[in-house]
């Protein structure tokens, strides 16, 4: 039996906090594998960068971690994307694996809005990591205070010196190279 963390999200774009979260649960032995799942169509109607672009960025972000795979499973599932459907589909792909749902403490506030949240927790008990600046008693901060929305702002503000300095510590180098090659995050901000 493999202990596997399922790590879903927009990854718009994936930043060092995402990579550190996966690395943290691996090196602490909480899990043996991490499956990263970029959301196909957000259940809360969140506007996002094109799925294929975010999928490529996620692959670039995690390519150096052999215990991490990036799944495109949500592409084949009904929309909008619900975590419970994703977990059910992944359990068929990885029968016998013990799942945990990896998420940041900042997502706990919205968790009760999720479809069939009790079933989500049954299929994959929560593995919550705290972030500096986000208070959560059950999840002490282990991740830096960084968010994809802030990274998108910095990307749009380039070449301002402050934005370039912030990006240097906020994005994995392969992700920044992919963003530049694909000319992403240069237009008006998403809602």
| 72 within domain boundaries | yes
- The domain tally of the chain equals 1
Structure-token match 């016998």, residue found: 96
| 18 within domain boundaries | yes
Which DSSP string corresponds to 21-59?
A: HHHHHHHTTS-SEEEEEE-SSBTT----S-HHHHHHHHH
Q: What is the pLDDT of residue 158?
A: 85
- At 155, is the secondary structure helix, strand, or coil? helix
Q: What is the pLDDT of residue 96?
A: 93
pTM of the model: 0.91
- Confidence check: pLDDT of 131 > 90: no
Give the Cα-Cα-Cα angle 9, 14, 180 (nearest 5 degrees): 140
| 190 within domain boundaries | no
| 107 within domain boundaries | yes
Q: What percentage of the chain exceeds 90 in pLDDT?
A: 69
Q: What is the pLDDT of residue 191?
A: 46
Q: What is the pLDDT of residue 133?
A: 80
CATH number of the structural domain spanning residue 110 = 3.40.50.620
> Are the beta carbons of 146 and 170 closer than 8 angstroms?
yes
Q: What is the pLDDT of residue 164?
A: 82
Residue 151, both tokens: 């990274």
Greatest mean pLDDT range, 69-73, 78-82, 109-113: 69-73
For 79-102, write each residue's pLDDT tens digit.
Answer: 888 999 999 999 999 999 999 999
Residue 43, both tokens: 């259940």
For 162-180, write each residue's pLDDT tens digit.
Answer: 888 888 889 999 999 999 9
- Confidence check: pLDDT of 190 > 60: no
| 15 within domain boundaries | yes
- Confidence check: pLDDT of 137 > 80: no
Across the strands, what pairs with 35?
Answer: 6, 69
| 178 within domain boundaries | no
Q: What is the mean predicted confidence (pLDDT) over 12-20?
A: 96
Q: What is the pLDDT of residue 123?
A: 97
Average pLDDT taken over every residue of the chain: 91
| 165 within domain boundaries | no
For 22-62, write each residue's pLDDT tens digit.
Answer: 999 999 999 999 999 999 988 777 889 999 999 999 999 99
Q: Which domain holds residue 83?
A: 3-145
| 82 within domain boundaries | yes
């Amino acid at each position: 039996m493999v202990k596997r963390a399922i790590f879903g999200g927009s990854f718009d774009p994936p930043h060092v906090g995402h990579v550190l979260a996966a690395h943290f649960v691996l090196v602490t032995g909480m899990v043996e594998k991490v499956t990263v799942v970029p959301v196909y169509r957000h259940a809360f109607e969140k506007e996002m960068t094109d799925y294929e672009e975010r999928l490529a960025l996620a692959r670039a972000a995690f390519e150096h971690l052999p215990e991490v795979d990036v799944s495109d499973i949500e592409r084949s599932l009904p929309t909008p994307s619900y975590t419970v459907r994703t977990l059910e589909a992944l359990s068929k792909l990885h029968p016998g694996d013990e799942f945990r749902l990896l998420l940041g403490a900042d997502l706990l506030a919205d968790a009760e809005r999720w479809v069939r949240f009790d079933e989500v927790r049954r299929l994959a008990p929560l593995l919550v990591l705290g972030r500096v600046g986000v208070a959560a008693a059950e999840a002490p901060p282990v991740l830096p205070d960084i968010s994809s929305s802030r990274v998108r702002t910095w990307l749009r503000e380039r070449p301002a010196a402050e934005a370039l300095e912030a990006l240097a510590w906020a994005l994995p180098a392969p992700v920044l190279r992919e963003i530049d090659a694909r000319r992403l995050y240069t237009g008006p901000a998403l809602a």
